[in-house]
Amino acid sequence: MAGIYLDHAATTAMRPEVEEAMRPYYSKRFYNPSSMYRPSQEVKKQIENVRAQIASAIGALPEEIYFTSGGTEADNWALTAFAKTGNRYSPHIITSTIEHHAIGHTCKRLEQSGCQVTYLPVDGRGRIHVEDLKRQIRKNTVLISIMYANNEIGTIQPIDEIGEIARKNGILFHTDAVQACGQIPIHVQKSKIDILSASAHKFRGPKGVGFIYVRKGLPLRNLLEGGGQEQGLRAGTENVPGIIGMGKALELAVANMEERQKKETILRDYTIQRIKREIPYTRVNGHRWYRVPNNINVSFRFVNSESLLVLLDMEGICASGGSACNSGSNAPSHVITAIRTPEEYQNGVLRLTLGEENTLQEMNRVVDVLKKTVQELRKESPEYEDFLKQEKATQ
């Protein structure tokens, strides 16, 4: 049985063009870009071409782009570099309750070092309220870190408004754009974003490489000590094949973004409507409109996510119950609890994230399998039996 892959928020398959672009840099063009001879300098030139390419894709300058090992490193670097702690100065950071753990766990560590952190609540659809943000700004607020789009429920935050508030108050604005870069248009200057994190494997590039954008003139602190790579701020020989692949992947992602968005939005909305119409006791999580095009997140009452995912896997359907970083945990994710999902819907969460290769035929099969599987699981649920008896008694 051919598989149906619906976990693109976890990772994506590299495009053939990306793999082809990377291949020479494993063999024929293996040179260290820090060496002085001509072949090495040619490799260095290609790296700088990618830097300019990425900068152009998000409205930045080439010198504002630094390569990293991925989104987690970029997030950690952003927070630790701009949250200066010490005995005489206790800085304040504002973030949200639904950030990726790369942000949330880093904030917890910074709190242990003397940093103050405010965790903004979100509404039932996963968006912060800008008025809440304004109220939480203090004299010692140095950084606002709000993700562009949530990795579990797909909700897009009011980025332009956040950027405006931060700039007016002289506060730096960082956004974790791992789920947004390559999926929706981003322009750091127009949105007044000071720092941005991204990861290549979310937009059909290779794993193990990403980038951080830092607005020119900001005092970015060293991440790693050693050689002079990345303007002396991140030492270590560059992941040349990964960087080349990331550049090619983002180039292709931007080139077909509009067409891909239209297709994924149609499939997303069609699938959600079928699920809502044909599977009772179902709740859609996340914002209806301010949502990345490829995200479907639903909760089924009287169903356990782990059992549902196992049965879907047996049918050749790859999906998740939320963030891949939370896999193996039976507890509801912090995102699902933060949006105040009713308790009876917290354990039956299913995330389906589309890619451009998914088809209407596949989504129809997924819904058909879901209908059957949810029904089977509910038949085994004592709570569901009691619920039906109560419903029948009240009629």
Q: Model confidence over 249-286: pLDDT tens digits? A: 999 999 999 999 999 999 999 999 999 999 999 999 99
Question: Do residue 248 and residue 325 come from a single domain?
Answer: no
Show which of 198, 228, 255 is a domain's final residue: 255
Question: Do residue 226 and residue 342 come from a single domain?
Answer: no
Whether residue 114 has pLDDT greater than 80: yes
Average pLDDT over residues 28-38: 95
CB 53 within 8 A of CB 45: no
Confidence category of residue 90, pLDDT binned at 50, 70, 90: confident
pLDDT on residue 1: 43
Catalytic residue IDs: 325
- Residue 291 lies in domain: 4-10+257-394
Show which of 255, 277, 310 is a domain's final residue: 255
Helical ranges in 145-239 per DSSP H:
159-168
CB 165 within 8 A of CB 134: yes
Confidence category of residue 331, pLDDT binned at 50, 70, 90: confident
Indicate the SS3 state at residue 268: helix
Show which of 232, 255, 278 is a domain's final residue: 255
Q: 227-231, 339-343, 375-379 — which is least confidently predicted? A: 227-231
pLDDT on residue 26: 96
Average pLDDT, the chain: 94
Question: Do residue 125 and residue 205 come from a single domain?
Answer: yes
Question: Do residue 219 and residue 261 come from a single domain?
Answer: no
Whether residue 390 has pLDDT greater than 90: no
Confidence category of residue 224, pLDDT binned at 50, 70, 90: confident
Rg (CA), the chain: 22
What is the number of domains present in the chain?
A: 2
Confidence category of residue 387, pLDDT binned at 50, 70, 90: confident
User: Residue 232, by phi and psi: left (phi above 0), alpha (psi -120 to 50) or beta?
Assistant: left
Question: Do residue 362 and residue 328 come from a single domain?
Answer: yes
Question: Do residue 183 and residue 66 come from a single domain?
Answer: yes
The model carries a pTM of 0.94
pLDDT on residue 87: 45
Average pLDDT over residues 323-352: 84
Confidence category of residue 395, pLDDT binned at 50, 70, 90: low
pLDDT on residue 388: 84
Question: Do residue 48 and residue 194 come from a single domain?
Answer: yes
- In this predicted model, what pLDDT tens digit does every residue of 147-202 receive, in sequence order? 999 999 999 999 999 999 999 999 999 999 999 999 999 999 999 999 999 999 99
The alpha carbon dihedral of 333, 334, 339, 340 has a sign of positive
- In this predicted model, what pLDDT tens digit does every residue of 187-205 receive, in sequence order? 999 999 999 999 999 999 9
Whether residue 371 has pLDDT greater than 60: yes
Domain containing 284 — which CATH number?
Answer: 3.90.1150.10
- Classify residue 375 by its DSSP letter: H
Instruction: Show the beta-strand stretches assigned E in the chain.
Output: 4-5, 65-68, 92-96, 116-120, 141-145, 172-176, 195-199, 210-214, 282-284, 295-300, 317-318, 349-353
Question: Do residue 242 and residue 301 come from a single domain?
Answer: no
Domain containing 121 — which CATH number?
Answer: 3.40.640.10
- In this predicted model, what pLDDT tens digit does every residue of 306-329 receive, in sequence order? 999 999 999 999 999 965 555 555
Question: Do residue 212 and residue 267 come from a single domain?
Answer: no
